Amino acid sequence: MGTCFSAPSTGSMKEGKKALPGGAGKDGKAALAAFDSTLILGKPTPDIKTIYEIRRILGQGQFGTTRLVVDKKSGAKLACKSISKRKLTTPEDIADVQREVQIMHHLEGHPNVVSLLGAFEDKHHIHLVMELCSGGELFDAILEQGHYTEKDAAALIRTIVNVVAHCHNMNVIHRDLKPENFLLSDKNPEAEIKATDFGLSVFFKNGQEFSDIVGSAYYVAPEVLRRKYTKEADIWSCGVILYILLCGMPPFYGDNEQQIFESVIKSPLDFTTDPWPKISEPAKDVVRRMLVRDPRKRATALEVLAHEWVREGGVATDTAIEPEVLKRIKGFAAMNKLKKEALKVIALNLPPAEIEGLKEMFTAMDTDGSGTITVEEMREGLKAKHFDADGSGYITREELEAALTEHGTGAALAEHIKTILNEVDKDKDGKIDYEEFCAMMRAGNDEGARAMRGGMLTAPPTFK
């Protein structure tokens, strides 16, 4: 599921003739006859273990686990996200899962959208079997490449906007576009980029406006904060991604979510500091067209794809972008991974009753006294996973290594930890103290609700 700043509107749009979850609805009356309202997917499904061999865990979250599975007939390796039904405690939780399945079926066939190969339901879980994307996140691929040009950035944003154009053509708004939601199909140099995580996506009708504030802080469009938006909000998010691809930092930032929101609403785009003077004018032009605050004047997906800098064979050059940009991207990606892991710690290790009381823990560390928690509560939450295993009040290199083993081993893990410490350890003492950790978590907490699905981040005020 995606990140949600506030509760979805109870008046959310209801599509009249959507396919039923799990593929039901394709056979008309027969499918409707088979619909079972006691099941989340609407109809009985085969036992997943009769079709797939369940293997190792690939990832974990509060609401479920992603595992490697193997098709018993073809031998194909796939990914299976198993969502615990016990954790789907509200009608909104259930509707989110149903809608995600519907939308993934609806968008299937596009080469850059991860394929949902099957949805299964048993007594305890919903199982979503998808193609396996083993090449890592978008930023990881850029960093591994080591050499990076404007032409590379143009190719990446062309693929991303192509996905958005497909979504909009199919009357779907993604609503949570960010680099972490684009994965590489494999480790090969020619691997395809795949869009994932449609948990916040919605169907829309022409002219329909939405008011629920969803998305991720750095990437959210100003009209979303004003609670009146349509598909153009996706283009803004793509513009933010392109800005980061070209300079290594988001265009709008702050020490906490509220400051980021205010920056999104009113801060000017910075094209004066390095490396922007060395970035081509056509590249800056497409960024400007995507980050127009008035959605009526913002470029559409098709207009972006037709831009001279974005289109294939266009004017984007092979001139290398400054190495400093790669360093910035590396630091930005590393911080996000640590934040994601920390939030998962709280989600996985605290009982539901305690999670309920900690929903706003990472919203912005809420320095104005609204929904705050104490230092001791925070430390106890971290100890649940033994980030601070010795209770010293610091997170050491060794404790980071123990907590982040899923991100690599050996030299790769050492480099990952070095990057995190360089970014977060402000006093350069080789460990992360509580204040440094809080400063990191305050800076655009875009993973809070993902780690605590069903928990709502504090809604920002409605901006005028």
pLDDT number for residue 374: 40
Neighbours of 169 (CB within 10 A): 12
The per-residue DSSP string of 154-191 comes to HHHHHHHHHHHHHHHHTTEE-----GGGEEESSSSTTP
Helix (H) or strand (E) holding 239: helix 232-247
The DSSP letter of residue 20 is P
Annotated catalytic residues are: 176
Angle between the N-to-C axes of helices 434-442 and 323-349, in degrees from 0 to 180, rounded to the nearest 10: 100
User: Which 8-state DSSP code applies to residue 252?
Assistant: S
Query: In terms of pLDDT, which residue wins out, 201 or 4?
Result: 201
Provide the residue type at 4 as one letter: C
Q: For residue 52, give the H/E element and its range.
A: strand 52-61
Strand 202-203 to strand 77-84: parallel, antiparallel, or no bridges (unpaired)?
unpaired
DSSP 271-326: -SSTTGGGS-HHHHHHHHHHT-SSTTTSPPHHHHHHSTTTSTTSS---PBPPHHHH
What was the pLDDT predicted at 268?
Answer: 95
Peptide bond into 21 cis (omega under 30): no
Is 60 exceeded by the pLDDT of residue 168? yes
Which residue pairs from 405-413 have beta carbons closer than 8 angstroms and sit at least 24 positions apart in sequence?
406/59, 407/337, 407/341
Mean pLDDT of 360-378: 40
Task: Please report the domains of the chain, with CATH numbers, ordered by start residue.
Answer: 21-131 (3.30.200.20), 138-318 (1.10.510.10), 327-451 (1.10.238.10)
Using the predicted structure, report yes or no on whether residue 456 has a pLDDT greater than 50.
Answer: no
pLDDT of res. 255: 76
The single residue listed with the structure tokens 């169907």 is: 203
Burial of 159 per CB tally in 10 Å (0-12, 13-18, 19+): middle
Report yes or no: 433 and 394 within 8 Å, Cβ to Cβ: yes
Give 2's pLDDT tier (boundaries 50, 70, 90): very low
Structure tokens at 394: 């610091």
pLDDT of res. 407: 52
Contact present, 220 and 230 (Cβ < 8 Å): no
Q: Taking each helix axis from N to C terminus, what angle separates 323-349 and 375-383, rounded to the nearest 10 degrees?
A: 90
Q: What is the mean pLDDT of the chain?
A: 76
- How many whole angstroms separate alpha carbon 153 and alpha carbon 142? 9
* Residue 123 is assigned to a ligand binding site: no
Using DSSP, state whether 338 is helix, strand or coil. Answer: helix
Q: What is the pLDDT of residues 52-87, one digit of tens each?
A: 999 998 877 666 788 999 999 999 999 999 999 988
Residues paired with residue 131 on neighbouring β-strands, in sequence order? 78
pLDDT of 377-398, one tens digit each?
444 444 444 455 565 556 666 6
pLDDT at 165 over 60: yes
How many residues are present in the chain?
Answer: 464
pLDDT at 462 over 80: no
Output 458 or 152, whichever has higher pLDDT: 152
